[in-house]
Amino acid sequence: MSEPTLLRADHGAVRLLTVNRPDKLNALNVATLDALHRAFDEAADDASVRAVVLTGSGAKAFVAGADIAEMNSLTPVQGRDFSLRGQRMMRRVEKMPKPVIAMLNGFALGGGLELAMCCHLRIAADTAKVGQPEINLGLIPGFGGSQRLLRLAGRAAALELCLTGAPIDAARALQLGIVNRVVPAAELETETMKLAAQLASAAPLALRGILDCINVGGECGIEEGLEYESAQFGLMFSTADMREGTSAFLERRKPAFKGA
């Protein structure tokens, strides 16, 4: 019996998802895309899960790209469908109501960088490398890479990475704003899970409100974004967590948020 393409483990309120195709450097094929989509649906619906960490198995790669062997024989229509399948899954991650952290333990190339960029935060080992090398295959990014890279790092960086296809190291990715933090490889899991635990202990409805505001604000004008933020801010006053958080502050104690 073959190994599952995606592993799941719960660490308290943090769910760890691991793409498990180490012999293929965790390349994304149709089965893996579908498994990821299901896993994020389940995490969204599970009240015991408050944060998600996504990584790849083995020491070499987070995800080294899409599965080239599977793509090689696709027709134009099948290629578009494959792109849409990946985009739907990554949009699902991006719109998660709970924070998702990509733990970049190695190569995050092509579809792997696209997968990392749809997560809300990215922590990279100092040995990690990222890039959009599709140009070297006669292709372009197909899972949202041109769009998210443009939004994260700006036009100049998006053009450089997509046009040259050359990977960059973690330090350069941090400088460009593609990753949030770079840590020594030996400390990657500890530091990532520490951040995930911190997020998991925060007020879940406030986390969701922040994620919604930033997702909406990134795609609309400033006036619409401010109006949406005010509406979400007001909504927080209907929650028991807001009363708990403000009371805990006034009473100088640690709050106990319940997501209500």
Question: Which pLDDT value is given to residue 59?
Answer: 87
Q: Which amino acid is at 133?
A: P
Give all domains of the chain, ordered by start, each with its CATH number. 6-200 (3.90.226.10), 204-250 (1.10.12)
Q: What own/partner pairs with CB < 8 Å and gap ≥ 24 does 245-249 have?
A: 245/203, 245/206
Q: Which residue spans within 28-76 are E strands per DSSP? A: 51-56, 61-63
Strand 107-109 and strand 100-104: pairing?
Answer: unpaired
Q: How many CB atoms lie within 10 A of CB 231?
A: 12
Cβ burial 70-95 (10 Å sphere, 16+ → b, else e) = bbeeeeeeeeeebbebbbebbebbbe
Tell me which of 3, 70, 94, 114 is the catalytic residue: 114
Q: Which of 178, 181, 179, 138 shows the shortest CA–CA distance to 161?
A: 178
Q: Which of 134, 194, 127, 199 shows the shortest CA–CA distance to 163?
A: 134
One DSSP character per residue, 208-244 reads HHHHHHHHHHTTS-HHHHHHHHHHHHHHHTTSHHHHH
In the residue annotation, 70 being an active-site residue is answered as no
Q: How many CB atoms lie within 10 A of CB 140?
A: 12
Tell me which of 3, 134, 160, 227 is the catalytic residue: 134
Question: Which pLDDT value is given to residue 259?
Answer: 87
In the residue annotation, 114 being an active-site residue is answered as yes
CB 142 within 8 A of CB 166: no
- 175: its two tokens: 């400088």
- Say how far apart CA 18 and CA 25 lie, in whole Å: 12
Helices 155-164/145-153 angle, 10° precision:
140
- Say how far apart CA 89 and CA 38 lie, in whole Å: 9
Question: Which pLDDT value is given to residue 1?
Answer: 47
Residues recorded for the chain: 260
- 141: its two tokens: 């990014």
Question: Which pLDDT value is given to residue 2?
Answer: 60
DSSP-derived secondary structure letter, 120: S
How does pLDDT run along the chain (260 residues), one tens digit per residue?
A: 467 999 999 999 999 999 999 999 999 999 999 999 999 999 999 999 999 999 999 989 999 999 999 999 999 999 999 999 999 999 999 999 999 999 999 999 999 999 999 999 999 999 999 999 999 999 999 999 999 999 999 999 999 999 999 999 999 999 999 999 999 999 999 999 999 999 999 999 999 999 999 999 999 999 999 999 999 999 999 999 999 999 999 999 999 999 88
Q: Which pTM value belongs to this model?
A: 0.95
β-bridge mates for residue 182, sequence order: 124
